[in-house]
Amino acid sequence: MGRGSFYFYKSSIFLKKRKGISESGNFLTIESKDLETGDTIVFEGGYNSENIFRELSVLKVKGVEPIQGEKISTSLQLNENSPKIYLKSSGKILKTIWIGKKKTGDSTRIVKEGNEILIIQANTIDRFTRGIGEFRQKQLINLKDESVVETIWEEEGKTIRLDNHPFKEKTIKKNFWRRLSGKLITLEQTLGDSWNNQVVGQLVELYPDDPNGAGYAIAKRLTAVPADASLKIRISNGDWITLRYYPKTNINSIDYRPAIRIVNGKFSEPPFYIREDSFLRLKEVVGNLEKAEQKKEPVNQNDQNGLPKNLTPKNDRR
- Which pLDDT belongs to residue 297? 65
List beta partners, residue 251.
254
Of 127, 138, 137, 136, nearest to 9 by C-alpha is 127
- Which pLDDT belongs to residue 114? 87
- Which pLDDT belongs to residue 311? 60
Residue 271 Rama label (left phi>0; alpha psi -120 to 50; beta):
beta
Report whether 205 contacts 315 (CB < 8 A): no
Beta strand ranges found along 139-297 (DSSP E): 148-155, 158-164, 167-169, 172-174, 177-179, 185-186, 229-235, 240-245, 249-251, 254-263, 267-268, 272-275
Q: What is the separation, in whole angstroms, between the first and last Cα of the chain? A: 50
How far are the Cα atoms of 1, 41, 98, 302 from residue 196, in angstroms, in the given order? 38, 30, 46, 21
Q: What is the pLDDT along the chain (318 residues), one digit of tens a residue?
A: 444 443 677 788 999 999 999 999 989 999 999 989 999 999 999 999 999 988 888 888 888 877 776 778 888 888 888 889 999 998 899 999 999 988 877 788 989 988 889 999 888 888 888 888 999 999 999 999 999 999 999 999 999 999 999 999 888 899 999 999 989 999 999 999 999 999 999 999 999 999 999 999 999 999 999 999 999 999 999 999 999 999 999 999 999 999 999 999 999 999 999 999 999 999 999 999 999 888 776 545 555 555 655 564 444 443
Residues 262 and 274: their CA atoms lie apart, in Å, by: 15
Virtual CA dihedral for 268, 179, 281, 287, nearest 10 degrees?
Answer: -120
- Which pLDDT belongs to residue 272? 99
Report whether 195 contacts 287 (CB < 8 A): no
